[in-house]
Amino acid sequence: METKLASNTRSSFSPLTIKSKRTTSLTSVNMGLEFAALAGRSVVLGGALAGGLHAVSGPDHFPALLPRCLGKPWLPAAKIGSLWGLGHALSAMAIGLAVFLIKDKALTSHPLIAGIAIGADIAIGLSLCFIGFLSWQEARGRDFAKDLGEAKLHQKQSVFMKANTLLNGLFHGLSLDGVPTLMPVLGLGSLSTALTFLASYGLGVMIAMTCATVFIGQGTMSLAESTNFDLGKLVRGTAIAAIVIGVLWTLRAIFFPA
């Protein structure tokens, strides 16, 4: 009996057995690390795609940006898109964090949150009207052919213009129309994972809006330079569209709140 017990003890502590256990342990650790890395990449990619999708599908985004970036060279247009996207991303990320922290409660169930959402929608509508009105005023009597030539030389934006673009994006981010693209945070298990998703979401918004404004600005500028295309008509048309959408947006927020 003692001989058999000693034999079992020696076999359990033999170099081959220890090596086998170490190999199994290392394999488990490696599999865990690979799974964590895969999950991390999925969170980052999913957040970036959700942010990009929201950026290009938001009904109030392009009416707010078109009057600002039409006929602009790629660099000023990129600055407009990135600043607006940054402001929009910050407020959208804040809403996403609130969604994660509230979890099972409906976001609009709290009267304060519902009031903020209505106020933000009204502010968005009025800002669209304001942007459209300013764009219409600026377009009156302008020589766009001359402005296109000067735009290549003068590409700097004032601090006021940068702050205005950032704040406008911030206001638009407070609208709850982007909440569906933020819903994946409800399925994330930890705060760190949720923050990773939201940071990727914000980056996706910025990249998508920057690409969109570069395409619109440089595209319309090249079109106006190479053809007899009347950029002034397009600017005035987008200004009118922004005003109309702004009025409808404000009326919807007042009489038909979400």
CA atoms of 127 and 87, how far apart (whole Å): 14
Query: In the chain, which ranges are continuous DSSP H helix?
Result: 2-12, 15-57, 61-69, 74-102, 111-139, 144-151, 159-173, 179-182, 191-226, 231-255
CA atoms of 246 and 135, how far apart (whole Å): 14
What is residue 1's three-state secondary structure? coil
Q: How would DSSP label each residue in 53-81?
A: HHHHH-TTHHHHHHHHHTT--HHHHHHHH
In this predicted structure, the answer to whether residue 247 has a pLDDT above a threshold of 70 is yes
Q: For residue 32, what pLDDT is reported? A: 44
pTM: 0.70
Highest mean pLDDT among 73-77, 140-144, 231-235: 73-77
Average per-residue pLDDT for the chain = 76
Token pair in block for residue 185: 């945070």
pLDDT tens digit string along 185-216?
877 778 888 899 999 999 999 999 999 999 98
